[in-house]
Amino acid sequence: MAIYQNMLVAVDLSSESDIVLKKAQMVSGPGAEIHLVYVQEPMDNVYVGIVPQSASFNSLGDLEAQLGEELKQKLTSLGEKYAIPPENLHILNGSPAHEIHRFATERNIQLIVIGTHGQKGLQLLLGSTANAVLHGAGCDVLAVRINTSG
What pLDDT score does 68 carry?
A: 82
Segment 39-63 shows an average pLDDT of 60
What pLDDT score does 81 carry?
A: 96
- What sign for the dihedral angle of Cα 65, 69, 70, 74? positive
User: Percent of the chain scored above 70 by pLDDT?
Assistant: 77
Inform me whether the pLDDT recorded for 94 exceeds 70: yes
What pLDDT score does 58 carry?
A: 56
Q: Residue 150's pLDDT band (boundaries 50, 70, 90)?
A: very low
The Cα 98–Cα 94 span in angstroms is: 7
Segment 129-141 shows an average pLDDT of 91
Inform me whether the pLDDT recorded for 50 exceeds 80: no
The Cα 105–Cα 87 span in angstroms is: 18
Inform me whether the pLDDT recorded for 44 exceeds 70: no
Q: Which domains, ranges and CATH numbers included, belong to the chain?
A: 4-145 (3.40.50.620)
